[in-house]
Amino acid sequence: MSGLVRYREGESSGNGFLDDYAYFVLALLSLYDATYDVEYLEASVFYCRRMIRLFYDLRDEGFYFTPSGGEKLFYRPKEAYDGAMPSGNSVAGFVTNRLSALTEEPDLTEIFDRQTRFLETAARSYPSGFSFALIALMQKLEDYARLVCVLPDEEHVREIALKLGKRFPSLTVIVKTPENADRLSEIAGYTKAYAIDNTRPVFYVCKNKTCYPAEYDLDKILEDLSAPS
């Protein structure tokens, strides 16, 4: 996968800045949410890890605006203030949390926890100037819920996408099929434990660190998730 951000007349160049990576990963996650295509999830993990490698400050937390190994500057800024467009740091916090929930990879969880501390410190003096950062921070306070859909074939994926739509924006959804099982296990190792039933879809719900037995009625699951807690 290329990390270059410019293409013109057959030539690619430019590693881009933090905002380029953070917004690109956010776009890839939006495509995954719309299609549950593992290719978008793979790409989002790849570019998120590349973003961390190029921009993250392991000593003092937060993401720099410019990449390591780039042009030597007198000052290497970390921008956290959300103006008309959210800052790269706020979006980076949002996407690292989403990918931590989707993959359960410890390194992504650690980066999100550290990024939470950075954003909390930045937003404390003027919360209204950090609106997207607050959205990222709210994810940590929300009740955690994940739905794993184990399907016998890809024919059912579109049905799942249509039923979920935009009704559950805080729900983490993973879709496993025979076609994507191997690729999915590479980026979300816990999915190996979910066996595929070749005769019907099977659904698993985890809420607040408690995972429940297999269910077969998606409509009932969605009804339960919609009910007030």
Cα–Cα distance between 66 and 53 in angstroms, integer? 12
DSSP 64-126: -SS-TTS---S---------SS--HHHHHHHHHHHHHHHH--HHHHHHHHHHHHHHHHHHTT-
Based on the fold, state whether residues 151 and 201 are members of the same structural domain.
yes
Query: Does residue 107 fall inside a structural domain?
Result: yes
Based on the fold, state whether residues 179 and 131 are members of the same structural domain.
no
CATH assignment at residue 189: 3.40.30
Based on the fold, state whether residues 207 and 187 are members of the same structural domain.
yes
Task: Among 141, 174, 200, identify where a domain stops.
Answer: 141
- Kindly report the number of other CB atoms within 10 A of residue 90's CB atom: 28
CATH assignment at residue 121: 1.50.10.20
Based on the fold, state whether residues 55 and 123 are members of the same structural domain.
yes
Segment 166-174 shows an average pLDDT of 80
Query: Does residue 50 fall inside a structural domain?
Result: yes
Identify the domain containing residue 209 by its residue range: 145-226
Based on the fold, state whether residues 172 and 216 are members of the same structural domain.
yes
Based on the fold, state whether residues 150 and 135 are members of the same structural domain.
no
Based on the fold, state whether residues 200 and 96 are members of the same structural domain.
no
Task: Among 141, 163, 197, identify where a domain stops.
Answer: 141
- Note the pLDDT of residue 9: 65
Query: Does residue 199 fall inside a structural domain?
Result: yes
Based on the fold, state whether residues 10 and 106 are members of the same structural domain.
yes
Based on the fold, state whether residues 135 and 168 are members of the same structural domain.
no
Query: Does residue 1 fall inside a structural domain?
Result: no
Segment among 7-11, 87-91, 100-104, 163-167 with least mean pLDDT: 7-11
Based on the fold, state whether residues 24 and 132 are members of the same structural domain.
yes
Question: 3-state DSSP call for residue 221?
Answer: helix
Based on the fold, state whether residues 20 and 52 are members of the same structural domain.
yes
- Note the pLDDT of residue 40: 97
Cα–Cα distance between 4 and 16 in angstroms, integer? 7
Contacts of 199 by beta carbon, 8 Å cutoff, 6+ apart: 152
Summarised one tens digit per residue, pLDDT across range 174-212 is 999 999 999 999 999 999 999 999 999 999 998 877 889
Query: Does residue 25 fall inside a structural domain?
Result: yes
The overall average pLDDT reported for the chain is: 88
Based on the fold, state whether residues 26 and 85 are members of the same structural domain.
yes
Task: Among 111, 126, 141, identify where a domain stops.
Answer: 141
- Note the pLDDT of residue 151: 95
- pTM of the shown model: 0.90
- Note the pLDDT of residue 166: 67
Number of structural domains the chain divides into: 2
Q: Give rounded-to-5 percent helix, strand, coil for the chain.
A: 50, 10, 35
β-strands 145-150, 172-176: how paired?
parallel
Summarised one tens digit per residue, pLDDT across range 8-45 is 666 666 678 999 999 999 999 999 999 999 999 999 99
